[in-house]
Structure 1
Amino acid sequence: MSETATDLDAEDRRGETGTSLDEDDRMKPEFVAAVIDRVEAGDTEGARALVAPLHPADLADLFELAPSDQRRPLATALAEMLDGDVLAEMNDWVREELIDALQPHEVAELATHLDTDDAVAIIEDMEEDDQRAVLRAMEPDDRAAIEEALSFPEESAGRLMQRDLIAVPEHMTVGGVLDYLRYHEDLTTDFWEIFVVDAGHHPVGTCKLSWILRTPREVAVADVMAREQTLIPVDMDQEEVALRFQKYALISAAVVDQAGRLVGMITVDDIVHIIQEEAGEDILRLSGAGDGDINEPILTTVRTRLTWLIINLGTAAISASVVGLFQGTISQLVVLAVLMPIVSAMGGNAGTQTMAVSVRALALNQLPPSNTRRIIFREFRIAVMNGLCLGLLLGVTVYLIYGMASLGVVICLSMIINNLIAGLAGVLVPVSLDKAGADPAVSSAVFVTTATDVMGFFSFLGLAALWGLHS
């Protein structure tokens, strides 16, 4: 069987980096330890020799895997290799820690050699005074580009876009474009398509590089360009940008300001990071775990998690109060106390399943108003079928164990009721929060869990009280 290009590339990288990477392209712990040992021993040259073959992404991994108290000595020893490309690949928390150790002019020098979006990612998290100091140390043109990017909302296309792109007028010929690319050394070298603009710098089409290379020189660009293109408003949220890239299979896209003028471009390599970041962020928010980054300061993590744990403590108190209403019923048949957590837990699991599907559908724009009713009816049918199956299974099991048919019927009905509540809450809560302008990934879990706990206890104990169950 032939090896793929990806496999060969991975093998080449492992060959270049010696024994630093394992078969899964991950950095070996013994390699990290060897580099740190040389830094501690004062063997700076030896440490540099070890890491010299590393790709910037692998060098960033080295800093992330190093103990936090060793990162600054490591940065000092490898200062000449710690360039902008390495910082751009680095974890946000680790990068911020290292940036704090650098002087403003050093940060400015690093940012100057980066694309605008990567430079902004480094500077935007700095303290305001440090930001100003770094910007003052930059060249006027670079400073203006960074300041403009920082003026846009966080996580918007304006923060994400690159200013360096290739734009040509529509009257230019293919030969003119080729000459322009060859003889202007200050042009960006990383691009996949050329944007065609009118006299007002409004994008009117795009040309893939393959079209330019395969078209005779005398042909006008306007005759080969694609006039249909996806334009990204400068204030669009980065999650929506990622959805457009996914939907239309884009490699790059033009970013336009409020007047429709071309101001930048976004490329797919940036979108890969956004998709990964947004997906992980939504999963962690559903659990109330904050950023969930292992490099995040402990006190920050504790504060984030404790907030949601305290909220959950309040909702647990509500559930407990429902149980308290039926103390007399429980005292007459103690087995109710054994069985009621099952009803609540199964409802909670069902609600979490539906909620996860709904939050994902909202994130992917699959739940517009026209589709919401159909999804609610779909989840209702699923909840009925799941409730019937689980209810019958649990009801028969309870009857066989305790010999009480009435108890089996009560727990069967309560399972059906709570599964219906879970299914409806799993859809309605995220949709309602989204319409109210709240992030459903952050808040849905609390409300859905509360609904299934309260209704699970209330339906089971309420039916038991109405049935008059007793020992």
Structure 2
Amino acid sequence: MTEAENAPDDILDRPIRDEDGAIDAGLVEQVSQAVLLSDLTTLRAIVADMHEADLGALLEALDADERPRLISLLGTDFDFTALTEVDDSIREEILEELSAETVAEGVRDLDTDDAVYILEDMEEADKQEVLGKLSPAERIALQQGLDYPEESAGRRMQSEVVAVPPFWTVGHTIDYLRDTADVPDRFFEIFVADPAHHFVGTVRLDRLLRTKRPVPISELVEEDRRVVKATEDIEDVARMFQRYNLVAAPVIDDAGRLVGVLTIDDIVDVIEEAADDDVKQLGGVHADEELSDPVPAIAKSRFSWLFVNLVTSFLAAAVMSLFEEQLSKLVALAILAPIVASQGGNAATQTMTVAVRALATQELGAWNLRRFFTREMIVGLINGVGFAVITGIVAAIWFGSSGLGIVIGIAMIVTLISAAAAGVLIPLALDRFDVDPAIASGTFVTTVTDVVGFFAFLGIATLWLGLA
């Protein structure tokens, strides 16, 4: 009987995920107890058919000391692909506790892209020790990927490819695919390369299977397919996949030799990571921050931008101090001033978010910059007029002063137009100086809108209401 057949029914019947999509708490408790008791029957029954994404979620739910013990207990039954599904910090902690032999055995049967992803963050000495436990062919394949820059296509590619020479026939190629054991488990097209392994073109599987066996492969080759250089930035490659609806793309080196393949599952991960980084950085959070990070590391990473924000806040406070006498004469100014600045900050954040995202996806360039800027300025004017009417009426009724209503209305228009301009120009300026606008834009945009909002409102009030 198999381990699964020997396992209790409540294990086999238990769902892996709860209704919210999180890993089932009861399942986690069962695994935790099985690890504590070294109950291999239960562990194998649970993880035997578990998808790597679910197994990764299970690892994250376990206590830190239980994770490496689970892997050691399962041995070859543990799918190391699951380590690509966990937070970086958790993966690093697990790898530190495992022996080089265990890691080498685990990555040996993985696709090279997954194996490189697991090994790349290890200490260099530990990495070389693991590589030393592999065969020369396996070591060379992994080292090739590790030698490419971190954010390059070469680092993400899978080196296992199906490549045939152009002089083969369709029948020869099909027989090769059937009889060769070391072809990838999944592939979407066949690459054609000359005897020196220079990339020639691709052949779609559907066309291969619909063609007579005697036909030469050279007659089926598509030479105009998109190719990727191994040194190309992976986010640029992801945009190419999006733009041309690619499922896979060959990767070549500087000499035009075929060195690997990128597939859509790798690109989906890249797109998700890029979007996750943008969201974090727009909020002033370091892109590498994860839920599993310890408190000191999180506090340290967030402190710098909070400090910058504090310094810029003093600038806004200094503007208000210029109107100290006017504020003392009319308390309503102190009550209403933050409303103007806050509204401007929110409007600027909306514009900035669109601008930063457009820059990140290369949708904003010299060809449409003027149109985009004009559109945002018009939107700022329309919203400024709308909120000028609303806030002006409320202020006039609240404080019984029509003059105060007119002042805050004019200030609201000025501030929202300025906010629109800042939301576009600041990200563009930062991008021009090679500073990531997703990281730095928020602080500077907020400062500009606060300064403009306070200065416009209090300055107009001083002139209009005669408070000088």
Say whether the fold is shared (TM-score over 0.5): yes
Q: Offset at 1:35?
A: 1.8
AA aligned opposite 1:360: R
AA aligned opposite 2:346: N
Match of 2:347 in 1: 350
Note the alpha carbon deviations across 1:166-217, whole angstroms, 9 max, x for none. Answer: 1122232211211221222222232110112245433232111111111111
Q: Is the 8 A contact 2:12 2:46 kept in 1?
A: no
Q: Offset at 1:44?
A: 4.3
Q: Write the distance in 1 (CA, Å) between the matches of 2:167 and 2:12.
A: 47
Task: Determine whether 1:38 maps to 2:42.
Answer: no
AA aligned opposite 1:319: A
Q: Is the 8 A contact 1:17 1:54 kept in 2?
A: no
Match of 1:27 in 2: 23
Q: Is the 8 A contact 1:407 1:469 kept in 2?
A: no
Task: Determine whether 1:408 maps to 2:418.
Answer: no
Which of 359, 362, 380 is the equivalent residue of 1:362? 359
Question: More deviation in 261-270 or 429-438?
Answer: 429-438
Which of 175, 181, 196 is the equivalent residue of 2:171? 175
Question: More deviation in 219-228 or 186-195?
Answer: 219-228
Match of 2:4 in 1: none
Note the alpha carbon deviations across 1:211-253, whole angstroms, 9 max, x for none. Answer: 1111111222222232221111211111111111111010000
Q: Is the 8 A contact 1:16 1:53 kept in 2?
A: no
Indicate how the Cα distance of structure 1 residues 51 and 144 shifts in structure 2: closer, same or farther if over 3 A, else same: closer
AA aligned opposite 1:220: P
Match of 1:398 in 2: 395
AA aligned opposite 2:210: R
Q: Write the distance in 1 (CA, Å) between the matches of 2:74 and 2:341.
A: 56
Task: Determine whether 1:260 maps to 2:260.
Answer: no
Indicate how the Cα distance of structure 1 residues 378 and 436 shifts in structure 2: closer, same or farther if over 3 A, else same: same
Q: Write the distance in 2 (CA, Å) between the matches of 1:79 and 1:320.
A: 62
Match of 1:121 in 2: 117
Task: Determine whether 1:102 maps to 2:93.
Answer: no
Which of 263, 272, 277 is the equivalent residue of 1:276? 272
Task: Determine whether 1:445 maps to 2:442.
Answer: yes
Task: Determine whether 1:433 maps to 2:433.
Answer: no
AA aligned opposite 1:154: E
AA aligned opposite 2:79: D
Q: Offset at 1:313?
A: 0.7
Q: Offset at 1:16?
A: 6.7
Match of 2:223 in 1: 227
- Identity, % of aligned pairs? 43
SS of residue paired to 1:265: strand
SS of residue paired to 1:217: coil
Match of 1:207 in 2: 203
Which of 178, 192, 195 is the equivalent residue of 2:191? 195
Which of 292, 304, 311 is the equivalent residue of 1:307? 304
Task: Determine whether 1:245 maps to 2:264.
Answer: no
Indicate how the Cα distance of structure 1 residues 34 and 237 shifts in structure 2: closer, same or farther if over 3 A, else same: same
Note the alpha carbon deviations across 1:403-451, whole angstroms, 9 max, x for none. Answer: 2121111111111111111111111111221222111111111111111
Indicate how the Cα distance of structure 1 residues 200 and 368 shifts in structure 2: closer, same or farther if over 3 A, else same: farther
Q: Offset at 1:381?
A: 1.0
Note the alpha carbon deviations across 1:299-319, whole angstroms, 9 max, x for none. Answer: 221111111111111111111
Q: Write the distance in 2 (CA, Å) between the matches of 1:138 and 1:171.
A: 35
Q: Write the distance in 1 (CA, Å) between the matches of 2:444 and 2:230.
A: 35
SS of residue paired to 2:292: coil
Q: Write the distance in 1 (CA, Å) between the matches of 2:249 and 2:344.
A: 45
Indicate how the Cα distance of structure 1 residues 80 and 175 shifts in structure 2: closer, same or farther if over 3 A, else same: closer
AA aligned opposite 2:199: P
Q: Offset at 1:470?
A: 5.0
Alignment of 1:317-336 (within 5 A): 317-336=314-333
Indicate how the Cα distance of structure 1 residues 72 and 196 shifts in structure 2: closer, same or farther if over 3 A, else same: closer
Q: Offset at 1:25?
A: 4.8
Match of 1:7 in 2: none
Q: Write the distance in 2 (CA, Å) between the matches of 1:47 and 1:185.
A: 30
Q: Is the 8 A contact 1:93 1:295 kept in 2?
A: yes
Q: Which blocks of at least 5 consecutive residues in structure 1 are unaligned?
A: 1-13
Q: Write the distance in 2 (CA, Å) between the matches of 1:340 and 1:17.
A: 61
Q: Offset at 1:108?
A: 1.6
Task: Determine whether 1:71 maps to 2:67.
Answer: yes
AA aligned opposite 2:61: L
AA aligned opposite 1:90: V
Q: Is the 8 A contact 2:76 2:106 kept in 1?
A: no
Question: More deviation in 447-456 or 225-234?
Answer: 225-234
Q: Offset at 1:81?
A: 3.2
Note the alpha carbon deviations across 1:11-59, whole angstroms, 9 max, x for none. Answer: xxx9976333334554211221222133334544334333334222211
Task: Determine whether 1:61 maps to 2:69.
Answer: no
- Using the size of structure 1 for normalisation, the TM-score is 0.92
Q: How many pairs align?
A: 458
Indicate how the Cα distance of structure 1 residues 448 and 194 shifts in structure 2: closer, same or farther if over 3 A, else same: same
Q: Which blocks of at least 5 consecutive residues in structure 2 are unaligned?
A: 1-9
Q: Write the distance in 2 (CA, Å) between the matches of 1:464 and 1:23.
A: 56
Question: More deviation in 221-230 or 196-205?
Answer: 196-205
SS of residue paired to 1:144: helix
AA aligned opposite 2:308: I
AA aligned opposite 2:169: T
SS of residue paired to 2:200: strand
Q: Write the distance in 2 (CA, Å) between the matches of 1:226 and 1:381.
A: 48
Q: Offset at 1:80?
A: 4.2
Q: Write the distance in 2 (CA, Å) between the matches of 1:401 and 1:201.
A: 79
Task: Determine whether 1:88 maps to 2:77.
Answer: no
Q: Write the distance in 2 (CA, Å) between the matches of 1:219 and 1:229.
A: 21
Indicate how the Cα distance of structure 1 residues 136 and 41 shifts in structure 2: closer, same or farther if over 3 A, else same: closer
Indicate how the Cα distance of structure 1 residues 67 and 240 shifts in structure 2: closer, same or farther if over 3 A, else same: same
SS of residue paired to 2:192: strand
Q: Offset at 1:257?
A: 1.5
Task: Determine whether 1:137 maps to 2:133.
Answer: yes
- Using the size of structure 2 for normalisation, the TM-score is 0.93
Match of 2:142 in 1: 146
Question: More deviation in 68-77 or 171-180?
Answer: 68-77
Question: More deviation in 22-31 or 281-290?
Answer: 22-31
Q: Is the 8 A contact 1:333 1:469 kept in 2?
A: no
Q: Write the distance in 1 (CA, Å) between the matches of 2:290 and 2:443.
A: 22
Q: Write the distance in 2 (CA, Å) between the matches of 1:43 and 1:436.
A: 58
